[in-house]
Amino acid sequence: MNKLCVLIMAAGKGTRMKSALPKVLQPVLDKPVIDYVIQNALSVGINPENVCVLVGSGGELVEEHVRKKFHSVKVLWQREQLGTGHAVKTAREFWKDYDDLIVLNGDLPLMQTESLKELIESCGKNDCTVITFNAKDPASYGRIIRKDNSVSIIEFKDASPEQKEIHEVNAGCYAFKVKSLEKIIYNITNNNSQKEYYITDSLGLMNDAGMSTGAFIMPEGDMLGVNTQRELSDVSCVMRERIISHWLNEGVRIPDTSSVYIGSDVKLSSDAVIMPNVQIYGESVIGSNAYIGSGSILTNAIIGDNVRITAYAVIENSELKEGSKVGAFVYIRDGSCLERNAYAGKFVELKNSSIGEGSKVPHLSYMGDATLGHDVNIGAGSITCNYDGEHKNKTHIGNNCFIGSNTMFVAPVEVEDGAATAAGSVITQVVPENALGVGRARQKNIADWSLRKRIIKSSQQ
């Protein structure tokens, strides 16, 4: 028998979000709420196959996302939303063969690893442990009633004035001994105004049966849920501040913390500099002494040591190796790579292209599906014409090549080592090693053309 499993409740409608997107798929920074909850469970050493997400309203989207990103995590359906007790009972086939079950809400992205570790270590001390927190403003939360070493929950609407003064409240998460839960799960009734089955009733049933119940107090900051767009914004701000504080403590320089956004899966090195209005998301890695200039947006970007991004760069799924430099106003995407000390300058786009060591694409150029050798210079306004209407074709430019301004490469095409192209050329064939490729029409001057044009225009008036 496996010791521990985790059931993540993600079946609710989330109507207060006022969004077609399910609540647990709403983004906190750069990834959905549910990702934080699942990753938190996995980070404490729980095997993915011991984690189950229970879906319901909007479940097709949630299931698709979970199966795509977390392949071994199980997904079960609660086809009818009849309350939290009904949800736990619906998932019985998942948890019945374990020793302990932890039930987590799918909208708690701020629960930290250390808090979850402590909760896991407490498993087995009680037949049921309810997760609680001391709320500054307990509002309409269910209040925790402690009596004779047992715990029960009273809903706000049923609480006396004295009980409403209690600040310890129910967070909606639980740790159960599975054998004990089995004994009472089918005794939960729907004798309430909502005609729903509430898992909160399990504590009263266990107390009546002489079982042990207790409470595990979490920090309030870990228990902030996401039920509205306002709460989503608040949680995102807390997450952003946590992440930035962590990297400041690791020696990253962030002069203006109020304007920088860093995703939770990003890795930064000491002495990296992140300037104002920068966003770094996905599995980006930023090297030591790298400089990320203002207005830049990086997603799944690998940035080497001593790289300088001047400003306003968009880099997606690409790599900038040590000492390379880009910007300003550059777009690098789709598996592109700048080798050591390479340069992509102002108003340049790179798509699925490799720029060799020491090579330069200084300004106003597009390199798509191209491979550049080392020490290549690309003149302004040069373009790889890589799409023929059906296929993306390759351009290969060898080492030590000089490309004249406004060169068009009609791919597939190759420029061999040491070759050059004349400015304004359309290159459709191989340029041999050390040759000059000239692909432009011979200039023809028409004498007195402007004068004749003015005479004709004057006669028409």
Residue pair 346/328 in contact by the 8 Å Cβ criterion = yes
CB 80 within 8 A of CB 195: no
Helices and strands in the chain, H and E counts? 10, 40
Closest by CA to 311, choosing from 299, 328, 290, 324, is 328
The Cα 282–Cα 267 span in angstroms is 10
Query: What is the C-alpha separation between 83 and 78, in angstroms, rounded?
Result: 10
The enclosing H or E element of 302 equals: strand 302-303
Sequence letter at residue 448: D
The single-letter code of the amino acid at 100 is D
Strand ranges for 36-73 from DSSP E:
51-55
List the catalytic residue out of 86, 363, 374, 396.
Answer: 363
DSSP 8-state class, residue 389: S
Look up 246 and say whether it is catalytic.
Answer: no
Query: Helix (H, G, I), strand (E, B), or coil: what is residue 77?
Result: strand
Do 375 and 400 contact (CB within 8 A), yes or no?
yes
- Other C-beta atoms lying within 10 Å of the C-beta of residue 2: 12
CA–CA distance, 19 with 21 (Å, rounded to integer): 5
Distance in angstroms (rounded) separating the CA atoms of residues 193 and 402: 79
Closest CA to 133 of 7, 218, 69: 218
The DSSP string of 118-162 is HHHHHTTSSSEEEEEEE-SS-TTPPEEEEETTEEEEE-GGG--HH
- Among the listed residues 159, 232, 161, the one whose alpha carbon sits nearest the alpha carbon of residue 200: 159
Dihedral sign of CA atoms 444, 449, 450, 453 in order: negative
Distance set, CA 392 to CA 179, 230, 338, 368 (Å): 60, 44, 20, 9
Q: Alpha carbon 403 to chain centroid distance?
A: 39
Would you please indicate which residues are annotated as catalytic (active-site) residues?
Answer: 363
